[in-house]
Chains A and B, each alone.
Chain A
Amino acid sequence: MHPFSLSSTEDPANAIAAHARDSQLAFIAGGTDLLGLMKDRATFPDRLLDINRLPGMAHIESRPDGALRIGALARMSDVAADLQVRQRFPVIAEGLLFAASGQLRNMASMGGNIMQRTRCAYFRDDDDAPCNKRRPGSGCSALHGINRNHAIFGWSEACVATHPSDVAVALAALDAFVIVRGMGGERSIPFTDFHRLPGSTPERDNVLERGDLIVAIEVPARPEGRASHYLKVRDRQSYEFALVSAAAAVATNGRQISSVRLAMGGVAHKPWRLSAAEAALRGVSLDDSDGLKSAIAKSFGDARPLAHNAFKVELAQRVALRALQTAGARA
């Protein structure tokens, strides 16, 4: 790794001020993504600020109103093991358990998880293949390169990468909030607005500004929370990024769907919500697989596969269907 300096702080206001005034400073918590990027020479921060000692940011708590608040410094494995999380929002626990390895889940923080950068091989390539995320303006090697693992929704000529987080897909489906403290105080960002589509500035993965510190993720009480499931399909059965994944959560009246939440991973630059499918699924019986299938298809009319990933269009619909049916079995 390149040389850098390292300091730590126990005061969030200090952390925020330091990050705001110093564009070469990066926060480090678990470090599992950041150090990988530094070792791959994809990022070169001059200064790291260890935020692990910031107080009160590792808790997992249920609020009186039923909301779940997950501190940004909580480790993936702690959240996945939490019995309340597992029982009230199994889709969150599963999203975490299907990610990375046991060792990495012990290290990686929840805030860092949603800050992860893409695993596009061109972005990670330290022979400096053109990549607009790595060097803005240099071009996208994947657009006409090997793009089997890349996006089918929402991509631009500048970038066709997908977001790697699993739990982010679950959090998008549940309409969670990212609680951020910045120079102007605290604000709450709807999860589906947190990550960005690439557009012409793919180097920006999310809407955070300098001086922003993620303090927590909040999941409001959702009637669909308990009957939820995360399904991940990948080339290897374990410890692999998603080809396609789906988070499904459903509330029913008898066998009839009264409300449903569906989001997908591995298909776009951000967790991809299937809003049209959600609307069409209302009132459909969980036992009517043809009905479910055609409702899900309503979100795939605007799919734009690349040269090597047309299979994802069909695969994603099947994965969404199976995730929904498995979630439904918990209703």
Chain B
Amino acid sequence: MSTTDKDDELTRRQFLLLAGRSAAGAIALGARPGYGDDQPDAAAGEAAQAADRGAARSPVSFVVNGQARTVSVEPRTTLLDALREELGLTGPKKGCDRGECGACTVHVDGRRIVSCMALAAMQEGKRITTIEGLERNGQLHPLQSAFIEYDGFQCGFCTSGQIMSGVAVIEEARAGWPSAATLDVTRRFGVSDLTKAEIRERMSGNLCRCACYPNIVDAVAQAAKSS
């Protein structure tokens, strides 16, 4: 594909944005008031009033993938939405939006968290890493390479969350953290204790509807061994 063709073409993301707007429009015309919205219909008046307060945006500054960034957010904006909508970092995915699926996993100050359950405005001064910030000098992170080598995905929707979680799992093991799969929590834990049973337990906050779990576990095990 030539550069010109690419520039003329709708990007996948632009297409999805447009399609999403059309879909939202269709729903808004539908019979079920409040559907797809955050407010129950009965509370709409109250919500409109409160919106004045809630909509007040304020700046928050953090370091994302090594770069200092400032974004203007509403108090209710999640870190996930700020990353995706304000900073265009669409690696973290919105799956369940309840902290249950792990597709939105990012690192904050070196720790894995679910960014859909964190408010952006509470991240002032934090150091945030998304899947986009994992490579170094054009080299994939060893776990990214292992996912390719072990075929750790099919549709790919959960993959960035899986990889961000897996990178942290290896770090947590190195720091000596036990898990629910650890037979004796009173003993020190090391990265060499990171069996497949341990990896399965530690990765349980990341769902994969394609069920690539065996390959994901193999990829994490390989990256842990080579780390």
Contacts and interface: CB of A to CB of B under 8 A. Distances in A.
Interface of A: 1-6, 8, 28, 31-32, 35-36, 39-41, 44, 46, 48, 50, 52, 77, 80-81, 83, 86-87, 90, 93-94, 97-98, 100-104, 106-107, 128, 238-239, 330
Given A101-B204, A102-B205, A3 B177 contact: no
A86 B186 contact: yes
B121 A6 contact: yes
Nearest to B176: A81
A81 B182 CA distance: 12
A90 B185 CA distance: 7
B99 A3 contact: no
A104 B205 contact: yes
Interface stretch (B148-156, B167-175, B215-223): B167-175
Interface stretch (B6-14, B19-27, B47-55, B62-70): B47-55
B209 to A, nearest CB: 15
B185 A94 contact: yes
Most buried by B among A8, A39, A50: A39
Contact of B55 (A3, A36, A39, A48): A3
B177 A81 contact: yes
A102 B168 contact: yes
Given A1-B38, A100-B205, A102-B204, 6 more contacts: A4-B75, A5-B75, A39-B98, A77-B172, A101-B204, A101-B205
A6 B114 contact: no
Given A104-B99, A107-B113, A107-B118, A97 B178 contact: yes
B18 interface: no
Given A3-B51, A32-B117, A36-B117, A103 B76 contact: no
18 contacts: A2-B50, A3-B74, A4-B54, A31-B117, A31-B122, A35-B117, A80-B177, A81-B177, A97-B182, A101-B114, A101-B204, A102-B169, A102-B179, A102-B202, A102-B203, A103-B165, A104-B99, A106-B111
A102 B171 CA distance: 12
Contacts of A35: 78, 117, 119
B56 A5 contact: yes
A107 B114 contact: yes
Contacts of A2: 38-39, 43, 47, 50, 54, 76
Categorize the interface residue count of chain B. Answer: 35 or more
Contacts of A239: 204-205
Contact of B105 (A50, A52, A103, A330): A103
Most buried by A among B75, B76, B111, B185: B185
A239 B99 CA distance: 11
Interface string B109-138: 001111001110110000000000000000
Given A52-B122, A104-B99, A1 B186 contact: no
B201 interface: yes
A87 B186 contact: yes
A52 to B, nearest CB: 7
A90 B186 contact: yes
Interface in B61-117: 74-76, 78, 97-99, 102, 105, 111-114, 117
A46 B54 CA distance: 9
B50 to A, nearest CB: 5
B29 interface: no
B112 to A, nearest CB: 5
A73 to B, nearest CB: 13
Nearest to A1: B76
Contacts of B200: 238
B59 interface: no
B188 A98 contact: no
Contacts of B75: 3-6, 48
A238 B204 contact: yes
Contacts of B206: 101
A104 B114 contact: yes
B113 A98 contact: no
B99 A103 contact: yes
A36 B116 CA distance: 10
B119 A3 contact: no
A239 B200 CA distance: 11
Contacts of A44: 43
A32 B186 contact: no
Nearest to A91: B185
Given A36-B99, A46-B50, A97 B186 contact: no
B40 interface: yes
A217 to B, nearest CB: 19
Most buried by B among A32, A35, A52, A87: A35
A81 B50 CA distance: 42
A124 to B, nearest CB: 10
B31 interface: no
A212 to B, nearest CB: 22
Contacts of A80: 177-178
A8 B60 CA distance: 13
